[in-house]
Chains A and B, each alone.
Chain A
């Protein structure tokens, strides 16, 4: 999928440049694009490393467990097929917590564990059940406490207060997540 998108981006650029006479600009963009990619990575790597380091401490002091417990009642409502304290609910709570804390590396294995638990009680192994769909929909909506990546980008481009969009992001995430959950519930039958 991405391969096709990427390929088309390049083909369209060269064709469009040939038609509009902008080949010189595109030629320069090849070089400057690759260079600016590395500049972006350099500006990202420091904050990303710092933040994952802080979050490692957060995990060790029990923030993850605390949040997972906090989410447990909500999750049992959203996943009525599983009881409170069941392995599926536990894995779901850990996945959601990892996402909230921005621990992408930890969230995916937890999420796969949750899917495997839900797959166990699935009648048809190839068709998703309601809980699996609900879980994936929650994962496709971002619910991140500190949107690190976007703040780094804003700072790189000279934002006066890189973090000032955080409340706006939280609100928008909540709206998107609610719409996702409601749509999933509506389409269940």
Chain B
């Protein structure tokens, strides 16, 4: 599995740059334009990241996060999910920056290559900020009644969260 994942990124970059050269496109100018967008995009989320990481750090230092997680322990064991990932599951659909702050703290305390660390990574990478997408897209066309959008979107999120542990067990043999 590790050997395979080494190839993904260099291969993607190789193909894109290779075709760009072959088609005689100004690849570096394009790169600069895109990189500027990515740079400014990251800078633009800085205020919300600062606010949310501070709040998550406070929550962790106060012991509130531990108390909450220990309450959730029975549920986590029932569903065979690492307890540390429960706050992430609750915040993920609501806030992108908030869940980023949480997973930063989770990976910092359990390590990215531990079982909970890998499960949290998969949860984060395989789901979206559901309520944000719902608000943006329905808001843009003035829809008031979203009908079955929220139940269906949450069903997708929940199945993704539950499947994360399963898939990490399947693909990483050392657990």
Contacts from A to B (Cβ < 8 Å): 1-2, 5-6, 9-10, 12-14, 16-17, 20, 22, 25-26, 28-30, 32-34, 36-38, 40-41, 44-45, 48-58, 60-61, 63, 104-105, 108, 111-112, 115-116, 118-119, 125-128, 132-133, 135-137, 139-142, 144-147, 149-150, 153-154, 156-169, 171-173, 175-177, 179-180, 183-184, 187-188
Contact = CB atoms under 8 A, between A and B. Distances in A.
A169 B104 contact: no
Interface in B113-150: 113, 117-118, 121-128, 130-131, 133-134, 136-138, 140-149
A146 B8 contact: yes
A30 B61 CA distance: 9
B138 A13 contact: no
Contacts of A165: 118, 121-122, 125, 168
B20 to A, nearest CB: 5
B36 A49 contact: yes
Contacts of A13: 55, 58-59, 61-62, 64
Interface string B1-29: 11011101100110011011001010100
A114 to B, nearest CB: 8
A167 to B, nearest CB: 6
A58 B16 contact: yes
Given A54-B34, A164-B1, A168-B118, A5 B160 contact: no
Contacts, number: 351
A38 B53 CA distance: 9
Contacts of A17: 58, 61-63
A58 B164 CA distance: 30
Nearest to B52: A6
13 contacts: A17-B63, A26-B61, A30-B58, A52-B35, A61-B19, A140-B130, A140-B133, A140-B156, A161-B2, A172-B160, A175-B160, A177-B156, A183-B148
Contacts of A33: 53-58
A157 B112 contact: yes
Contact of A142 (B1, B107, B125): B125
A160 B58 contact: no
A147 B127 CA distance: 11
Interface string B43-73: 1011001111111111111111001000000
Contact of B67 (A16, A157, A162, A169): A16
The 8 closest A-B pairs by CB, nearest first: A56-B34, A52-B38, A180-B156, A33-B57, A176-B160, A53-B35, A187-B148, A33-B54
Given A55-B34, A172-B125, 4 more contacts: A45-B38, A108-B136, A126-B142, A163-B6
Contacts of B77: none
Contacts of A168: 118, 122, 164, 167-168, 171-172
A50 B128 CA distance: 22
B153 interface: yes
Given A38-B50, A172-B167, A111 B61 contact: no
Contacts of B51: 6
B128 A172 contact: no
A38 B174 CA distance: 34
A164 B98 CA distance: 24
